[in-house]
Amino acid sequence: MNTSARKSIFALLAVILIMSTLAACSGANKNNTNEPNTGGGQTETGNGNTGGDQGLSGEFEIQYFVGGYGDKWWKHVIGEFQKVHPNLKIKQSAGSQINEQMRPRWIQGDPPDFVYIDGAGANEAQMITDGQLMDLTDYLKDVKNKDGKRILDLVIGQPTAYDGKNYTLPLVFGAWGTFYDSAWFKENGWEKPTDFESFMAVSQKIKDAGVSPYIHTGVYPYYINGGLLNSAIVAENGGDPSIITRIANLEEGVFKSEPVMKALDKIVQMRDKGFIDPGAIALNHTDSQMAFLQHKAAFIPNGLWLENEMSNDIPEGFAFDYIPSIMQNKGEKYIAIPYTNTVAIAKKAKNPEAAKAFLEFIFTEQFAVDWAEMTGAIMNVKADLESSSASQIVKNAMGYFNSEDIVVAPVLVVNADVEKALQDGIVALLDKRITPEEWADRLEKAAAAAR
């Protein structure tokens, strides 16, 4: 897994570099790692505009990146869409290098109709800045899927607003969180934490047993920012996720605000009690994950790609489990800090009618189940996965996302320089080189320079 795929959550400007790294990691940010090179190319199906009466007609082109999620689901849904519209000539422009291959056409104003934004060279913020994507704000407000259900009522994560407008809709949904071995916990009589208080209590028991309670990927600090700090910030804002938008907008003073300072104080409490492994600062993702699998540590912040990525190294009897957040106060809701990959319609689409029809076709509960079974990940649609063949950890995660006991924050996207300050800051704080107040000063300075 490369560093970058998880970065898609955070990078806004200069993201082409970040997204390049991204391609190799998780699918939603991490599944793009170490994926086989499937090449790139275009395939066509359908009979073209034959003058028939069934469904849509004409040409319709779909661009999608093929990475860790593969292309099985895409071929499946496109095949089903073709059955409904036999007179539509569908071209699939796909592959692991498709973003670079299609870039000249986007620049020249000859884009495909529909695009899945993921992988190396994919940068939705830049595409929006360049005026390449259709404004979907009004369209998404009440649009229904092919089953007659309002799509925005079904999705787990809402579309990101850029200056109040929506240009994309998340297709893949993942959320950072804390992972642990539920079988090992049961064996040791350690309780699963449901809030910060119970996390601190069980961490003391774990430490007393000679095990490091919490390890993380210090070389890539966005893991601990996404899996720990950001959820603490939302929790300390009364569970109101709007503070993430305030951070993304680099609102003056937000990094010194009460919710942020209280969140940093919780991190300091964990650090000072010795619950965060001090050696983790030097670890990359593989080393920290191996230490976690070998029970050298009890908890680790990560994304839902973790089990799949480490599948060749999982010890017998290890039972992955997932908690969206551990930083909320007792009685408060869980906080989901998401990472997503989106779909969009080109502003210069030649067949926007077909593009909209395809979007409405794929955002259904059945195709969400198919996605989970075919990719091992979660699609951005609330669906019942219990009777599906999806992995248990995906089912557990979806159980949280389907419940009323969770707050889903918006995806955090910030200026690249501010993102670097966020990463450097959490490392310095954990290493006791700066105080929370100095952390806030650093971030306010970085935000002021970026504004």
* pLDDT score for 342: 96
* pLDDT score for 268: 98
* pLDDT score for 78: 98
* pLDDT score for 414: 82
* pLDDT score for 391: 85
Two structure tokens written together for 229 = 């700090």
* pLDDT score for 163: 85
Give the C-alpha separation, 49 to 47, whole Å.
7
Amino acid, single-letter form, for residue 173:
F
pTM of the model: 0.76
* pLDDT score for 15: 36
Strand-strand pairing, 169-181 and 334-345: antiparallel
| pLDDT tens sequence for the chain (451 residues) | 444 444 343 333 343 333 333 333 444 333 333 333 334 566 666 544 433 357 899 999 999 999 878 899 999 999 999 999 999 999 999 999 999 999 999 999 999 999 999 987 888 888 998 999 999 999 999 999 999 999 999 999 999 888 889 999 999 998 999 999 999 999 999 999 999 999 999 999 999 999 999 999 999 999 999 999 999 999 999 999 999 999 988 999 999 999 999 999 999 999 999 999 999 999 999 999 999 999 999 999 998 888 878 889 999 999 999 999 999 999 999 999 998 899 999 999 999 999 999 999 999 999 999 999 998 889 999 999 999 998 888 899 999 998 999 999 988 878 778 999 999 999 999 999 999 999 999 999 999 998 8
Structural domains present in the chain: 4-174+340-400 (3.40.190.10), 175-338 (3.40.190.10)
* pLDDT score for 185: 98
Give the C-alpha separation, 90 to 79, whole Å.
10
* pLDDT score for 308: 77
CA 108 to chain centre: 30
